[in-house]
Amino acid sequence: METAAAPVNGIRALSNLSNAEWEVALKRYYIILPLIDNEPGFTIASVARKSKVTRQTIYRWLERYTQTQSVSSLLKDDTGCPKGTKRIAVDTETIVEEVINSRYLNKQKLSLKKATIDVTLKCREAGLPVPHYSTVRRRIAQISEEQKLARRYDSSIAGYKYDPLLDQFPNADYPLAAVQIDHTKLDILVVDEINRECVGRPWITLAIDVYSRMVVGFYISLDPPGVLGTGLCLSHAILPKELWLSRLDVPGKWPCHGVMRSLYMDNAREFRGRSLERSCQEYGIEINFRPVTKPHYGGHIERLMGTVLREIHALPGTTFSNIKDRKHYDSEGKACFTLTELEKWVADFIVGVYHQRKHSGIGTTPLARYNEGISGNLHQIGVGKDIRMIDELKLKLDFMPFEERTVQRYGVSIDGIAYYGDILRKWIHAYNQPNSMDRSKRKFAFKRDPRDISTIYFYDPETEQYYDIRYRNTSYPSITIWEHKEILRVLKAQGISRVDENIIFETYARLRNMENSAVNNTASAKRRRNQTRKNYATANNIRNQFMQVVEPDDTETEFKYDPNAVYLPFEDLEHDPFNKNKSYF
């Protein structure tokens, strides 16, 4: 009795395969080859997205090849249909697949309805039966959401949502190994220090240690993001914070300090300045820009900013995050925080709340995680504290941007305010090329802390050191750059478009007197005066740290300033800051 031979796995003989069929099989084999060889960086999701097929298809191909170890097994029909399901004509099915692939799965994002119309038109042109709307809908429903995102939007969006995070962040295996930095506009209106009027929403720059989720530093300002804010945030992150917390009267401990190994930033322009790059190189900080295709590399800092913003929404003067929440709330009328007061609130929240509560991403508090990384535990050896001696003054100045100015007989002028120090004398009217026909004036580098502009820092190219240069008129009070801008705004509103430093400080004194007379007898007056003094404390600390200035060897007669004398504008000077034709608006 003869027994009928059964087909083996439905696979045809190689000799019976056409060249076109064999090329299809090889193409599928090369698609799954990286997965077969376990090559790093390849996942079923990434291979499916790159080859523009579903993950289920990749799974089927892998299963067949694993079972048979033959390339020809990949030719087995993929479009099997469950028992009882009605099939449409092969030619019609081809048109449906063609429309879905070329019209629906592309960046034009054709709707299901329009895709069905295209199928209808093509079938009628070919004289084929027109499939029902539900047939096209079912075919599209069988496509994974991942593939739809990749084809209709972008593969990076699909990857961000569906790719497994096998290594969530590279090399963040101890404190300060990787720090992320970014900035956002806070959802709150602040008032100025002078007359308590609303001046707008401030920006905050934050830096976070990826290993422990500790906030390592921050900086709040009314100025938009730039090199200055980034630099001040980094210097705050690197330096110890005990004295700073004491000046703000914030209880608690903030132990993280030291130079980070790697700094991760997005690709914004303010992070790509040469000044910032050189400052980081000076301290051995490796700069890494966030890969465009890996937005989750900035996920830690973005979640931190979201946390801070949500907490801000409980404060008076909040603008909330959307119009619906802000409806019927008078943000401007409720505003009461100054920048200094808001800085204290943020510091208190970070130290007393955020660092102390359990973080879902690490399973413990950021403070406990940081201390474990430093001191070690049963499972890992601690890295110890960063005991490098860092010149605090040099660090702060290194991370500040500089401005270039020529030196005139009165000194230098920045934003309408004159500064003078004897160290400048030998550079008055200095030329770029003293012994040549080039008579262009030489420019020198000056740095300024926006929190106290009573002092600027001059870099002497001969001694290669910084020197502090005070107001030319030392009787003027210390002010912040934001108070200076508010004064200019008030003067502009009064129709005064040409100002000198006398007008600036007379206006400042008048506004201060108005404030003092209005609130001098209230409890809040004392609080505001204390906060104002603290606002200058950080910048004043820089000035107090300066080593004794080495006076230059200069035989000229010492310049003496008589505060009772009347000084006329220096209209004969090329760079006179008080020239009547110059406006500071």
Backbone angles phi, psi at 94, to 5 degrees: -60, -40
Q: What pLDDT is recorded for position 320?
A: 86
What is the C-alpha R_g of the chain? 34
Q: What pLDDT is recorded for position 167?
A: 46
Per 3-state DSSP, what percentage of the chain is helix, strand, and coil (rounded to 5)?
45, 15, 45
Q: What pLDDT is recorded for position 159?
A: 63
Which amino acid appears at position 359 of this protein?
Answer: H
Contact 176, 256 (CB under 8 A): yes
Q: What pLDDT is recorded for position 206?
A: 95
Strand pairing category for 465-471 and 455-460? antiparallel
Three-state SS at 344: helix
Number of DSSP helices (H) and strands (E) in the chain, helices first: 20, 13
Give the Å distances, CA to CA, from 10 to 6, 20, 30, 455: 9, 19, 22, 86
Q: What pLDDT is recorded for position 552?
A: 42
Global model pTM greater than 0.75: no
What does the domain layout of the chain look like in residue ranges?
A: 29-162, 178-388, 401-544
How far apart are alpha carbons 3 and 198 in whole angstroms?
Answer: 95
Give the Å distances, CA to CA, from 8 to 2, 12, 17, 510, 562: 18, 9, 16, 99, 108
How far apart are alpha carbons 411 and 471 in whole angstroms?
Answer: 10
For CA atoms 551, 554, 557, 560, the dihedral sign is negative
CB atoms within 10 A of CB 489: 14
Give the Å distances, CA to CA, from 80 to 26, 60, 67: 21, 12, 19
Q: What pLDDT is recorded for position 107?
A: 83
Closest CA to 470 of 570, 539, 552: 539
Q: What pLDDT is recorded for position 360?
A: 83
Which amino acid appears at position 202 of this protein?
Answer: P
Q: What pLDDT is recorded for position 109?
A: 82
Contact 546, 458 (CB under 8 A): no
Segments in the chain below pLDDT 70: 1-17, 76-88, 156-170, 267-273, 291-298, 387-389, 515-585
How far apart are alpha carbons 559 and 492 in whole angstroms?
Answer: 34
Instruction: Kindly report, residue by residue over 422-471, the tens digit of the pLDDT.
Output: 999 999 988 887 777 777 889 999 999 888 899 999 989 888 889 999 99
How far apart are alpha carbons 279 and 98 in whole angstroms?
Answer: 56
Q: What is the CATH number of domain 29-162?
A: 1.10.10.60
Backbone angles phi, psi at 455, to 5 degrees: -130, 135
From the options 1.10.490.20, 3.30.420.10, 1.10.20.140, 3.90.1640.10, give the CATH code of 178-388: 3.30.420.10
- Read off the tokens for 422: 């004897």
How far apart are alpha carbons 177 and 260 in whole angstroms?
Answer: 6
How far apart are alpha carbons 509 and 513 in whole angstroms?
Answer: 6
Q: What pLDDT is recorded for position 46?
A: 84
Bridge partners of 468? 457
CB atoms within 10 A of CB 290: 20
- Read off the tokens for 11: 């696979």
DSSP state of 428: T
